[in-house]
Every structure is written in structure tokens, then in C-alpha cells.
Amino acid sequence: MISLEDRVRVLPGVGEKSAAKLQQLGLVTVEDVLCYYPFRYDDFAARSVLELEEGEKALISGIVMTPPTVQYYGFKRNKLRFSLKQGEVVIAVSFFNQPYLADRIEVGQDLAVWGKWDKAKVAVTGMKLVAQREDELQPIYHVIQGVSQTSIVKLVKAAFDKGYDHLLKENIPTSLLERYRLVERKQAVRAMHFPKDIAEYKQALRRIKFEELFYFQLRLQQLKVANKVMADGVSIAYKPLEVEEKIASLPFNLTEAQEKAVHEILRDMQSTGHMNRLLQGDVGSGKTVVAALAMYAAYTAGMQAAMMVPTEILAEQHFESLTQLFPDLSIALLTGGMRAAPRRAALAAIESGEVDMIVGTHALIQDGVHYHHLGLVVTDEQHRFGVHQRRLLREKGGNPDVLMMTATPIPRTLAITSFGDMDVSIINQLPAGRKPIVTRWVKHEQFPVVLDWLEKELLKGAQVYVISPLIEESEALDLKNAIALEEELTAHFKEKTSVALLHGQMKNDEKEAIIQAFKAGHTDILVSTTVIEVGVNVPNATVMVIMDADRFGLSQLHQLRGRVGRGEKQSYAILVANPKTDSGKDRMRIMTETTDGFVLAEEDLKMRGSGEIFGTRQSGLPEFQVANIIEDYAILEEARRIAEQIVSDSDWETQPEWQVLLPYLAKEERLD
Ligand code: ADP
Ligand code: MG
């Protein structure tokens, strides 16, 4: 008997080692494999030769203009030639040593050739002949080091060959399938991996997107109902005078916007209602200190406050800031990488109430963590946490108030739809004395000029980030690029400049040591993959160079750029890119024109709204496997409406119509 819960090891070619690798991709069961969808397809459609690069391999289609001729030269060597017309372009096609293809080529026929493009000669060297109808779509999956494209393709094929797909159960109620004319689950899953044509793929995609967004909304709505049930939140009787004193003792004056946010938060905390507030502020606007003051207020009321962040680097950084701000308090750090003994000590101190504040990663919501009068939970860059994690954290201590910080300027409507019903505080002002970051876009050819300029800046004592390019398909390549870049810069600047490398595969202590050295000014240039993206604060760093910047979306570029301009010195961002697409060029231009996160978010929305089908993953909002919260906003809205309706009936779980939802809702959302 086969079951969807079967481990991936039942599939041919999967041993213990590869199973462990696959697990890193979230592939544990065969069902996971079936539902691991490609993020794009190659030769998705025949391409226009006008947009092909020299030497690029692509599927080129056209109408056959001249009959094929075969020229023989030497023993068994021959060349078949014909011409193909695409739009106004006449393309010379040649195939080596495949004379028999001539039978398949007729003048006037619509034909496609998979081959290598020669731009100068307007010619293609064919590798494969494809009749237009049987247009192949090759799925491309996200992979990691040690798991190849081919191995994923094989794995998926094997799962289908063994008939696992027949076990997939429908998880959307029939009434909804009919109302929205959605294809069935089995059919959709198959078509996601092996679409016959674009139309079939689009239908499948629409259904899978709906499924994703619908379940997301169902969970969100359930959470909302649960919140209402526990509506009697705690009233945190903080001591206003002590908080005011703390504010007065800060090394700087709060901006008006920060003050306003602090007061909104304090008002919520004091009221008996349950606080569920989003603190939104552009990068560098000073959200941390606002959150820290809220935590301090909880402390003055004799309650614990916890801050949960997505990475260990950030946890360490916030731990340090809080320790500096509140030297008299007992603050605990709790991360996954901790050794057993200190961890035990921290846990005991948290439980006994000896600890006033706790900062950490996902470790904060694990079993064995018991809080002592937890009054407030702050999450930083909260979009990285799923609904499920937020719920877990909440359940840890009565019903603490929740403050979520985010640097992503989420348009209000989107915020409401994707985060349920939250109040929003906005810090729309940067601290006094900040100079807008000067941003320049240069081509790769100009990199030597950038290096010369960097040299001058380094002489003036600047510290520099250089972000290495992002290769979506492979972490291993990302790393290789980062290493090469570090070597290049080390060789270029010689001993007088110290260059360090930071990447995602390093151990946490290693990462931490490197960031500390940079903070302390021992390192001049920090070459980094995008691990640096979120929240890192080194005010003395004033230059950010982003290689292949066009590979990043606007929000991510904005986040990256936000690592500089955090002090009073003039800061610079240099985008090095030779974008191939119009959207890439537009992104570079927009970045040089504005540093305002809200303007960028709007531009981002506009650009994405017009639909890059296989765009990079949207950063800053909840992430889905296939859905894109911005492009698919209409589906999301609709899904929210239905979910709300369903959940509003307190007996919904007993009704036959909704039974198919229960098993999938019960499945835990995967931790990121
Ligand atoms: P973000 O909003 O991006 O999280 P941070 O909270 O990290 O920003 O703050 C960025 C920097 O600005 C920090 O070094 C912080 O100490 C400093 N800062 C925050 N508020 C002010 C202020 N009102 N005046 C001057 N500097 C401030
Ligand atoms: Mg921050």
C-alpha cells in the first residue's frame, strides 16, 4: 500500500544522504514532492530573436521559407540548411549531421528550432527540431547545493510513475470549484509539473494559487476568531514617569513620528483590549528604539517582554542594543545555536521571572520555554513569521500584546488583507541630520571606475558593503560568486585594506564575529551575500555596492540600500548592473530617483501589477510557493471574503460542505 505520507526514500535513487538534502528543501514525504512546483519553465514559449543574447540557447520559431538542403563534406559529415522567417527577420538555420530531418521540414510550415543563437549572422545552430504543437515546457525547480535540477525532475517523475498522484485528495469544496471554475487538484498538480501547453499550465496555476491563498486566509480568519475569543487581553499598568525618564535619557531626541508611535503603543498596552499593532517605518527610521521603549514599559509594570527576530545575527544585534539601552535590566538571549548549559540557565531564568526581557529567534516558541508574566511580544521583520508561528508565540503566555515591526511599506489595503485586522503605527520620518543616500547606477564596464572611487572613500575612512549577485537557482553559485568577489577585491586593494566575507552557509558564531569586526571598524570592506539584508545596523558604513543589482526586486534593493545612511555622514549606493529587460532598467532608474520606501513600494506594485509571470520572490510580504500577493491580489481578496464567510459560522467545522478543508487545515504550516 502506498501512501502520500511515504517518505521520499521510497522513491528510486533516494538514499539516506539525498533524503537529508531533500529535507532542506522541505521535501519529506512523497506528497511534498508532488506539491513542489517549478518556479518557471524553460523554452516556455518560442522566443523572439530580437531579445536573444549572443550565444543564448532558446526555442526559436517561425515559418519555413526555403526548402531544406543538405550539403555533404567528407565522411559522414553534412549540414542541413533552411531559412525560417520570424516576423520580419529571416533566420539561417543549420543542423549538423542530421540529414534525415529534411523529411520533417516543409515550406510554409510553422516550426520551432531549439538551438544556439548567433546574433551577428542572424543564424541558429539547431540542436532539436520541435513541431510547434508539441512545444515542450521544461520545469525548473528551486534547488540547493547537492540537489540538481535533473534529480528533482526524476524524483517528481518517479512519484507520478508510481501513481502517487492518484492518492491526492481534493482539498477545495466542490461548491467553490464550481463557482470559480477551478480545475481539480490531481489534474492541477500534474499540469504544474508537466503542462501540455501554456493554457493548461495557466489553469493549473490559477487553481494552485487559489488553494494557497485560500488556506492562508482560512488560517488567518481562524486566528482572528481565536483572538476575539481571548479578547480580554492584559492591561499593562506601566509607569509613565519611568518611561518618560528613559526617553529623556536617550542619547538622541525621538523624532515626532517615533514619539507618536510610542504613545499609540503605550495607550494600547494600558488598555484592557488586546494589542495587535503593526509598526511600520522605512529602513533607518528608528523602529528598534520605539519597540524597546514598549518593552521597557512592560518591564515597569513588572512583566516580561520578548522580541522575536528571523535570524541569529539580528537576535545578537538587538540583544546588544537592548543591553546598551537598559544596562540595569536582566536580558536573555535565546537562539537555536546555543549550547545546552547556557540554554538551560536562560530557560530557568526566564521561567523564574529573573529575566526582564528576552530576545531570540524561533527558539522563543519552542517547547520548554516558559515565560513568567509575558506582557508583550515584539516581532521584527514579522513577515518572516507565518501565522502559525505567531499563534504559537502568543499561546506561550496568556494573551500578551503583540507589536510587529516591519520595514516594508505595505500599502494599507494589502496590510489589512494579509495580516488580518491590525492597527498600524507609521514612522514616516527619518531622524534629524540624515542625508538622503546618493544612488548611482553603473554598468559592469565601469566597475574599474567604481574601484578607483572606492579607494578614495576608503582613504577617507569609509566602510563599505559589497553585495554579491544573487543566483536564484543555486545557493552554491551565490557562494562561489561571493568568494570570487572577495578575492578580486583583496587582490585589488592589497594589504592596506581589510576585506571580509559573510555568507549564509557560515556558522552563526562565525557570522557574528565577522559582523562584530565590521562594526568595530577592523574590516573596511564586507563582501556579503544577501544575508546582510535585514536589519543589520552599522552606522559607520557609508557605501553600499550591489553587484548585478537588476537581479533584485525594488523592495529588496531598498532593504539592502537601507544598510547605509544610518548615521550623519553622506552615504552612497552603487548599483552595478547591465539589465537585459525593460523592467530591470526601470528598477535601476527608479532606485536612483528616490529613497522613499513608500514611493518604491508603489512603483513595485505598479510594475508587478503589470505582471512578470515568473518574477523573483516578493520580499516583505508573506511568501507563497506560487502565489504572488501583489499580482494575485484579486484572488487573495476573494479568498479572504470566502474564508471570512465560512469561519463566521461557529458550526462550520461540522458541516458536510466544509469537511474537505479540515485535514489540510490541521497540517502544520511549515516553519521557514
Ligand atoms: P530601523 O527602523 O531600520 O530598524 P533602527 O532602529 O535600526 O532603524 O535605527 C537606525 C539607527 O538610527 C540606529 O543606529 C539608531 O540608534 C538610530 N536612531 C534611532 N532613532 C533615532 C533618533 N531619533 N535620532 C537619531 N538617531 C536615531
Ligand atoms: Mg530594524
Does ligand 1 come within 6 angstroms of the Cβ of 565? no
How far is C-alpha 170 from the chain's CA centre? 28
Task: Find the range with the poorest average confidence among 202-216, 330-344, 364-378, 464-478.
Answer: 464-478
CA distance 152 to 34: 11
The one-letter code for the residue type at 487 is: E
More confident: 593 or 633: 593
Q: What is the CATH number of domain 436-593?
A: 3.40.50.300
Comparing C-alpha atoms, which of 278, 231, 243 is closest to residue 381? 278
How far is C-alpha 139 from the chain's CA centre? 20
Does ligand 1 come within 6 angstroms of the Cβ of 409? no
- The domains of the chain are located at 1-41+141-165, 44-128, 168-229+630-671, 238-425, 436-593
**Ligand 1 atom, smallest distance to 255 CA:** 23
Give Rg (Cα) of the chain: 28
**φ, ψ at 15 (rounded to 5°):** -100, -170
pLDDT value at position 199? 87
Q: What is the CATH number of domain 44-128?
A: 2.40.50.140
Does ligand 1 come within 6 angstroms of the Cβ of 293? no
pLDDT value at position 75? 75
Give the tens place of pLDDT for each residue, 170-179. 999 999 999 9
Check if the beta carbon of residue 111 is closer than 8 Å to that of residue 117: no
Q: Are 238-425 and 436-593 in the same CATH fold?
A: yes
More confident: 45 or 649: 649
| % the chain with pLDDT above 70 | 87
CATH 3.40.50.1820 fits 238-425, yes or no: no
Residue 343: partners with Cβ closer than 8 Å, 6 or more residues away: 334
pLDDT value at position 471? 62
Task: Find the range with the poorest average confidence among 123-137, 341-355, 430-444.
Answer: 123-137
Average pLDDT over residues 327-350: 93
Task: Find the range with the poorest average confidence among 140-154, 533-547, 564-578, 606-620.
Answer: 606-620
CA distance 486 to 505: 16
Fold topology of 1-41+141-165: DNA polymerase; domain 1 (1.10.150)
Ligand nearest to the CA of 292: 1
Task: Find the range with the poorest average confidence among 79-83, 120-124, 666-670.
Answer: 666-670
The one-letter code for the residue type at 333 is: L
Give the tens place of pLDDT for each residue, 28-44. 999 999 999 998 776 54
Q: Closest Cα to atom 13, ligand 1: which residue? A: 286
pLDDT reading at 672 higher than 50 = no
Give me ligand 1 centre to Cα 286, in Å. 3
Diameter over CA atoms, the chain:
96
pLDDT reading at 473 higher than 70 = no
pLDDT value at position 94? 94
Give me ligand 1 centre to Cα 647, in Å. 41
> SS3 of 108, please?
coil
pLDDT reading at 298 higher than 90 = yes
pLDDT value at position 56? 85
The residue whose CB lies within 8 Å of the most ligand 1 atoms, and thus the one to mutate among 246, 289, 428, is 289
pLDDT value at position 390? 64
pLDDT reading at 615 higher than 50 = no
